[in-house]
Amino acid sequence: MSKVLYFGQVCIVAMAFTKNTLILALLCLILIQELEIYSGNEYMVSASQIDCNGKCNYRCSKTSRKKICLRACTSCCQRCNCVPPGTSGNTHLCPCYASITTHGGKLKCP
């Protein structure tokens, strides 16, 4: 059911909405707004960046090739913002870090 209202030269069509329709529309708008807020990186807080140098220094502390380890670890940390705990292993705790490979297909991150 619709009602036509005339204000001077402007014609407005007023639709009869039920209370449930208005509530559903409002909830949809709220959901869309929330999805836009959390979908992009522009809302990430810079404080959430981890200390890659500190984490990688510990991760590479027991290796015999420390410079190579630090270079690879720092690169992976900056890309993933994650370094697995300990000096080796535990890569399941940081899937991004564990999935980066070299051009030759070998795992890049120590």
**Cβ contacts of 84 within 8 Å, gap of 6 or more:** 59, 90, 91, 92, 93, 94, 97, 98
Q: What are phi and psi of 91, to 5 degrees?
A: -70, -20
Spell out where the chain has E strands: 2-7, 10-15
- What confidence tens digit (pLDDT) does each residue in 6-42 have? 555 554 444 556 777 778 877 777 777 766 655 554 4
> For 74-87, how does the pLDDT look when each residue is reduced to its tens digit (9 = 90+)?
999 999 999 999 99
Return the domain boundaries, the chain. 2-43, 50-99
Instruction: State pTM to two decimals.
Output: 0.56
